[in-house]
Structure formats: structure tokens, C-alpha cells
Structure 1
Amino acid sequence: MSYQTIVCEKRQQTAWIFLNRPEEMNSLSIILVNEFLQVLNEVEQDETIRVIVLSGKGKTFCAGADLKELLVNLDQKSEGQKGILDIAGNIFERLNILSKPLIAALNRITLAGGLELAMTADIIIASDKAKIGDVHSNFGVLLGGGGAVRLSRIIGVNRAKYLLFTGDFITAQEMKDYGLVQKVTPADELEGVVQELADKLSAKSPLVLKEMKKLVRDGLEQPLDIALRQELLALKNHTRSHDFQEGLSAFAEKRIPNYKGF
């Protein structure tokens, strides 16, 4: 299926989703968000896809919400009608519960809502030309996609407040030093490096990766003793799965496992 603002390519067992409004810095418009939701639902349901990569076309990963459209939308939105902020919120809610591994490939400029999008990913790989920051304060706008909450948890409260308050950009390497970015690679090698990682993850049990995502997410929101009990219970339940038996059998037989995801 073709889209106006999204490019989706299947590479091996990986779905590459590109935001495709380069002339508008891949900013989030109503059309883009609706198409993005549709693509996410499609790749989530496709059992042949095991990993999802999110990136941007052109010189931007994503610059956040389309502020021009936001201003017009707020002026014209009728009572009870969903606006761009409501629809954009649906994207973050969907990404928060995505069951498949999500890699954010930051090609270049990553700002505001673009940074919020990146932080929903399980792994962030950035090109050495990427510039990353939050510019909400530069336009008198508050964050709404989890930026303040996630950023402070990932890089620390004071670093997060500095970036949020100043609206400054920093390099991908600085964000790696802060713990947000897991790897920085030359710009012309970004897609190859990300695909290599995606292939590595695709060879794992999709059931295990799905449950690991859930355990990490739930564990952050639970007291330690409850989270630990949940983890042990998940392991006990997992021992009844095909992938558990297949993984141990393949190890014993010295062969490559054939995971099914159940």
C-alpha cells in the first residue's frame, strides 16, 4: 500500500518505516499520524516481521508536531472534534504498547516530538551527523508525548531540565554519553548498522523479546518485590512454550533454533 507521508519497506524480517515529509522536516501532521498508525497496525499484525525500524527521509528524523498545522487546527477545531494533539497522542499510546522490538535510526535532526518519538524505541542508533534536542521552550509550548517524563528517567533530572529549559541541541555522541543513544555510527553506514542489528534480533525468539519488553516496562512501574515475582512467574509460564523447548533442544543438538513466537 502506498502512502502520502510514510514509506514502509520490508527488508528480510524487518519493517523500515520512514517519515516522509522532508520539506517539512518530517513534522507530525494529521495525515502523517493517521498513516503512521495504519502502518504500525499492519506491521504489528504481520507475523513475518519481527523487528521495526523508525527513521526519517531527508535531513531530519523528525522535528515534532507541525506547528503551522497545530495553530490552524486549534483555531478551527469544533467542539468535540479530535485535533492534531489528540491524534498525535494516539501514536505515543500505540508505540508504548508495541510488542515487537523498535529501533529508532536517527539520521539527522531530532527535535521536540521527534525526540519523544525516539524515546519510545527500545534501542536508539544515531548517525554522527545527528543533532538532538528539545525545543518546546523556544516556542512557548509544553511537552505532551512523554518527553519530560522519559528524558529525565533516561539521562537524569538535571541534564533533562537543562535541555528542556534551554532548547539547545547536542550531538549524538553527547547523547550516547548520557545514555539515550546506544550507538553512534558514520552517517553513510547508519542503515547498514541498523539492519545488521535488526537481523540479529530477528534470529531471537519473538516471544522472548516480546515478554522481555513487557517485563522491563512493567518493572519500571511496580515495586521491586512485585516486579521480581512477576518476572519469575513469567519464566515459569514460558517453560510451556514452543520457543523455550526449541531453544534448549537446539542448544543440546548444536543447531540453529527455529523459533515460532509461541
Structure 2
Amino acid sequence: MSATFSRIIYEKKDGVAWITLNNPERYNALDAKTRRELKQALEDASRDSGVLAIVIRGSGKAFSAGGDIRAMAEMKPLDILNMAREVGTALVLSEIIKNAPKPVIAAVHGYCLGAGFELAQACDIIIASEDAVFGQPEINLGLIPGGGGTQRLPRLIGEKKAKELIFTGERIPAKEMEQMGLVNKVVPADKLMDAVNEFIAKIKEKSPVALAAAKEAINAALEVSLTEGFKYEAQIFAQLFSTEDQKEGAKAFLEKRKPVWKGK
């Protein structure tokens, strides 16, 4: 894409879209400009069939420390509504990530707080460094999470732990988040990108069509009843038998070779 960014770095390499939050002086605060640029990059990467995975990471000492508190200090309800109309709420980013037909990975180091934590929650996979800390500190500002935290966290870690985390605003280390099941893997800080690349290498061996279908079905499980989910899964499962990748997968298995996916 031809857009010029000032708050993020957007690169595509070897089938991976790398989105780096790049406002380290403000700990990659998710202000309106950053969200606007992040939205553009995510939309582009989602549409690009040559992109097999998307990685979101931060520069400097943080993934993202959250919203722009300085900007919010004097805001009134109308200001929040106007900003939402202009650039969309944080939930817009969540929907783009959810609907992207490919895995979106959060590579987290340092602070991952507030809106930054909500951004990571929206991703399909979270790989974190040992120095990463997570939290929803909005309660300390007289607020509640406004980017999906009150709705997503109970689904991810359970009602009681979500209430504890949001009520106290405490910062939780990566290892504890891994034990809760929210973080997929914790590695030493100097091994973070190695771990991300190892995961991506595994993804690249799979059918892009099947990955997109699996993501769609799993996402539905969080929103529909178990009975409806079974029906939805069966429908998607059946549809995959019309794809070239399903035929190639079966043929490769019978011929005892690696499949050559076509992504259709």
C-alpha cells in the first residue's frame, strides 16, 4: 500500500505482515492517529492473499501502555463520541482482527496495559517475553475498560478472574497470564522474535483455507450456543470438501508427501 505512516512501521516479508507500534516515547499509546494507521495496515494485510500471518508488536520498552491519558484527561462524553465517529472505536480494530482470514499474533514485551492489553486480547495468539506485564488499570482513572475488556476477558479467563483483574487494576506478569490460559507462550526477552517465527513456520505448513475456516469456526464458538456451534462447524467442514486444498491434502497424505497448498 502507498500510505505513509508516522506511528507504526508496516512491512511485508516472506508471507508475513509485520505491524510495529512506533511511538516509543509515549510507550506506544493507542491515540487516534495510531489507531487510524493500525486500522489501515490491518485492513491491507487482511485483504492481501499473499499474507499468511499478521504480527503486531511494539517498539521501545512496551507493546502498548494503553490509551493516551493526556488526551483523555480533559475529554467529555461528546469528545469520545466524536472521536469514535472519526476513527472508529477500539472495537473496530477488534472486528478487523476477528474477521481477518489468517492468524493475527501479538508479540508482547514490556507494558501491555489498558487499550494495549485489549488489542492483544483481540489477537488469535499471544506470545510474550518474560518481562511482559498485563493489566486493565482503567479503574485507577475512574473508568472501566472501553475497548472490549469487560466483555472479552470473562470469556478468555473466566468471570471471577476477569473481575479481580479489572476491579483491582493490578499488573499481572506474563507467566501468570500463561497459567490463566490467556498467553500462549512465554519466552526469554531475547528469544521473543525467534518464538514468533517458529510459530509462523508451523502455520506456513498448513492450508490457508483451512486456517481461515478454523478461525471462523472457533470465533463462532464464543458467540453462539453449543448446539448452534455444532451446526456451524458441520457446515464449514462440509464446505471445505469443495476446495482444492482439501483434495491436495488428502492426495498428499495418501502419496506420503508434503502437500502443496494453493490457498483455494
> Please, which of 151, 174, 177 is the counterpart of residue 176 of structure 2?
174
8 Å CA contact 1:73, 1:83 repeated in 2: no
Letter in 2 for 1:181: V
- The answer to whether the aligner puts 1:20 opposite 2:22 as a matched pair is yes
8 Å CA contact 1:100, 1:210 repeated in 2: yes
Output the CA distance in 1 between the equivalents of 2:80 and 2:193: 43
Distance 1:75 1:217, change over 3 A: closer
Q: In structure 2, the residue corresponding to 1:239 is in which secondary structure?
A: helix
User: 1:221 aligns to what?
Assistant: 223
Output the CA distance in 2 between the equivalents of 1:45 and 1:66: 29
Range with greater deviation from structure 2 (81-90 or 112-121): 81-90
Identity, % of aligned positions = 37
Task: Show structure 1 runs of 5+ residues with no match.
Answer: none
Q: Equivalent residues in 2 for 1:202-241 (5 A)?
A: 202-241=204-243
Letter in 2 for 1:132: F
- The answer to whether the aligner puts 1:141 opposite 2:177 as a matched pair is no
User: 1:108 aligns to what?
Assistant: 110
**TM-score, normalization by structure 1:** 0.93
User: 1:58 aligns to what?
Assistant: 60
Q: In structure 2, the residue corresponding to 1:221 is in which secondary structure?
A: coil
User: 2:96 aligns to what?
Assistant: 94
Q: In structure 2, the residue corresponding to 1:249 is in which secondary structure?
A: helix
Output the CA distance in 1 between the equivalents of 2:40 and 2:14: 21
User: 1:191 aligns to what?
Assistant: 193
Output the CA distance in 2 between the equivalents of 1:53 and 1:189: 15
Cα-to-partner distance string for 1:147-206 (whole Å, 9 max, x where unaligned): 111111211222111111111111100000111011100000101110110121122111
Task: Show structure 2 runs of 5+ residues with no match.
Answer: none
8 Å CA contact 1:64, 1:112 repeated in 2: yes
- The answer to whether the aligner puts 1:247 opposite 2:222 as a matched pair is no
8 Å CA contact 1:53, 1:105 repeated in 2: yes
* Structure 1 residue 72 displacement after superposition: 5.1
User: 1:48 aligns to what?
Assistant: 50
8 Å CA contact 2:36, 2:87 repeated in 1: no
8 Å CA contact 1:26, 1:61 repeated in 2: yes
Q: In structure 2, the residue corresponding to 1:115 is in which secondary structure?
A: helix
Letter in 2 for 1:104: A
User: 1:8 aligns to what?
Assistant: 10
Output the CA distance in 2 between the equivalents of 1:140 and 1:86: 23
Output the CA distance in 2 between the equivalents of 1:42 and 1:34: 13
Cα-to-partner distance string for 1:45-91 (whole Å, 9 max, x where unaligned): 22111001111001111111112223456499499674678443322
8 Å CA contact 2:138, 2:169 repeated in 1: yes
Give the count of matched residue pairs: 262
Output the CA distance in 2 between the equivalents of 1:221 and 1:88: 19
